[in-house]
Amino acid sequence: MRQHRLIADVERICRADGRLAAALTYGSFAAGQGDVHSDIEFWLFFESPPDPYEWIRGVGPSHYVVGNEFGAHVAFFPGLIRGEFHFATAADIPSVGSWPARGAPVDRMIVVDRSGALRKALDQLPDQPRLPGTPDERAELCGRFANWLILAHHVTRRGEWLRAVDALTHVQRHLLWMARLAENRTQHWLTPSRAAETDLPPAVLHDLHLATATADPDSLRAALSAAWSTGRRYWPELAPVPTGLFAELDAAM
């Protein structure tokens, strides 16, 4: 795969760059799950930060590099391969210990670790993220689902259909979390839509597919009704039912 060649090039450059205190790779390839559609992803911790665009050019030809909304620089390599690079300082290495989880074995993640500080930070992390386990945490998850559902309902009624589609994506994400928790299919928790087609039972997928819509009032109303029907089924398994809210949503949806 082209991704494997790019990863090898990045790792070679990292080991040769004396400004680099530490580097790690994460995501699908670090976890051993990468395929031809997967990104390559790195965190780079420098003693003396370089120009990100110049450093990425050293990896190989790319069509374009853009700074994304999460602070990473994303390169589009030939074959529409995304390379995600986070440029940080050596002083930022301990912050890795505050991440929700590793998602891959430490030895597969570390590319460069000149002081041992990166391994120390990674060793603090659990293999998988902590799930909502307390009654309050599960109730909060269900409440956030209701929050987005009610917003999507109102903007649909107002005729802001594109805004409703946007709100519905948040409804769907929380519905996926609720379904994963209730069905005990919590792999890929941080990105609940990832591999949903293989993680979740067909009947659950069918219900989740019904909760999707285009920017059309009839499509939106049907999706909202389906989302509430599915969420209403899972909510009692996860948290106490707010009866007044349920009654109003039953009438609205």
Same domain as 220, residue 241: yes
Same domain, 116 and 150: no
pLDDT of residue 146: 98
Let me know whether 43 and 140 are in one domain: no
Looking at the structure, tell me whether residues 97 and 33 fall in a common domain.
Answer: yes
Is residue 118 within 8 A of residue 134, CB to CB? The reply is no
143 and 247: one domain? yes
108 plus 151 within the same structural domain: no
- Verify that 66 and 24 share a domain, yes or no: yes
Q: Which residue is associated with the tokens 């505050």?
A: 98
Is the backbone of residue 87 left (phi > 0), alpha (psi -120 to 50) or beta? beta
The answer to whether residues 95 and 157 belong to one domain is: no
The answer to whether residues 179 and 104 belong to one domain is: no
Instruction: Give the pLDDT score at 103.
Output: 87
Q: DSSP E strands: which ranges in the chain?
A: 20-25, 40-46, 64-67, 73-77, 81-89, 110-113
Domain span including residue 29? 2-123
Displacement of CA 241 from its chain's centroid (Å): 28
CATH number at residue 168: 1.20.120.330
> Is the Cα torsion angle 190, 192, 197, 199 positive or negative in sign?
positive
Same domain, 57 and 119: yes
Residue 82, SS3 per DSSP: strand
* Residue 69: φ, ψ to 5°: -75, -5
Q: Please give the tally of structural domains in the chain.
A: 2
Answer whether residue 128 is part of any domain: no
Q: Are residues 106 and 11 in the same domain?
A: yes
pLDDT in tens, the chain (253 residues): 899 999 999 999 999 999 999 999 999 999 999 999 999 999 999 998 899 999 999 999 999 999 999 999 999 999 999 999 999 999 999 999 999 999 899 999 999 999 999 999 999 999 889 999 999 999 999 999 999 999 999 999 999 999 999 999 999 999 999 999 999 999 999 999 999 999 999 999 999 999 999 999 999 999 999 999 999 999 999 999 999 999 999 999 9
Same domain, residue pair 119 and 7:
yes
Pairwise CA distance, residues 122 & 111, whole Å: 13
